[in-house]
Chains A and B, each alone.
Chain A
Amino acid sequence: ETGVTQTPRHLVMGMTNKKSLKCEQHLGHNAMYWYKQSAKKPLELMFVYSLEERVENNSVPSRFSPECPNSSHLFLHLHTLQPEDSALYLCASSQTTGPEREQYFGPGTRLTVT
């Protein structure tokens, strides 16, 4: 596999469920990101990890819990979500977190909360 992969590609969950999104990058990068993309709205940066340490948390509700066990893997644990959390969740990676970094995005997980 190459690039950035995400699983599952589609997820439907109830508000009381617990699920996890998985992201894996095969590029040897040191930084990974979670974004939320809702219809007609800008991409929203949720979390940034650099060398497995969280360096940014953009005031994301605690029902979203990230985990970065190593520089190649990133998870987003979900629990007691709300219908407004339905969106496309994109993972990205970059060589570093420096300002000139090009980000490589995965295909996303389309999440529907019922």
Chain B
Amino acid sequence: GQSLEQPSEVTAVEGAIVQINCTYQTSGFYGLSWYQQHDGGAPTFLSYNALDGLEETGRFSSFLSRSDSYGYLLLQELQMKDSASYFCAVNNFNKFYFGSGTKLNVKP
């Protein structure tokens, strides 16, 4: 079967750094994606890692370790607008498997 584990909820303060972890067990693997979804909104793409290492895009970075079946999303200089749910997703060619999402609460 396929399973992705991520924490259900994380709380941090404005300006801080937060890391959202994702571990996965899937029968096939091409890469790990991250999506952001605000309440009532559509998921939006944040990043994709196919190879081990860190990918940086502005305040957001994503890391992958294929040997550990593990990745994380790092959010720096948190802003109130970062309050949302964050989903990791494993790409298995034509298929995506999503985690249940991590709700990030950013407090002033």
Q: In the complex, which residues of chain B have a beta carbon less than 8 angstroms from the beta carbon of A75? A: none
Inter-chain contact B87/A43, CB cutoff 8 Å: yes
Q: Which of B87, B96, B99 has the most CB of A within 10 A?
A: B96
Interface size on B, residues (CB 8 A): 25
Stretch at the interface among B13-21, B38-46, B66-74, B76-84: B38-46
Inter-chain contact B96/A45, CB cutoff 8 Å: yes
Cβ distance A47 to chain B, nearest Cβ, rounded Å: 11
Q: In the complex, which residues of chain A have a beta carbon less than 8 angstroms from the beta carbon of B101? A: 42
CB-contacts of B35-54 with A (<8 A): 35, 41-45, 48, 50
Which residue in chain B gives the minimum CB-CB distance to A6?
A: B42
Q: Which of A4, A42, A55, A104 has the most CB of B within 10 A?
A: A42
Inter-chain contact B45/A42, CB cutoff 8 Å: no
Which residue in chain A gives the minimum CB-CB distance to B8?
A: A40
Contact of B48 among A40, A48, A102 (CB under 8 A): A102
Inter-chain contact B94/A56, CB cutoff 8 Å: yes
Which residue in chain A gives the minimum CB-CB distance to B101?
A: A42
C-alpha spacing A101/B33, complex, angstroms: 9
6 new A-B contacts at CB < 8 Å, known A102-B33, A105-B44, A107-B41: A45-B98, A56-B94, A100-B48, A102-B48, A103-B35, A104-B45
Q: B-contacting residues of A (Cβ < 8 Å)?
A: 4, 33, 40-45, 48, 50, 55-56, 58, 90, 92, 97-108
- 17 A-B pairs within 8 Å (CB atoms) are namely A4-B42, A42-B98, A42-B101, A43-B89, A43-B98, A44-B98, A45-B97, A55-B94, A56-B95, A97-B94, A101-B91, A102-B48, A103-B35, A103-B43, A105-B42, A105-B43, A108-B42
Q: A-contacting residues of B (Cβ < 8 Å)?
A: 4, 30-31, 33, 35, 41-45, 48, 50, 87, 89, 91-101
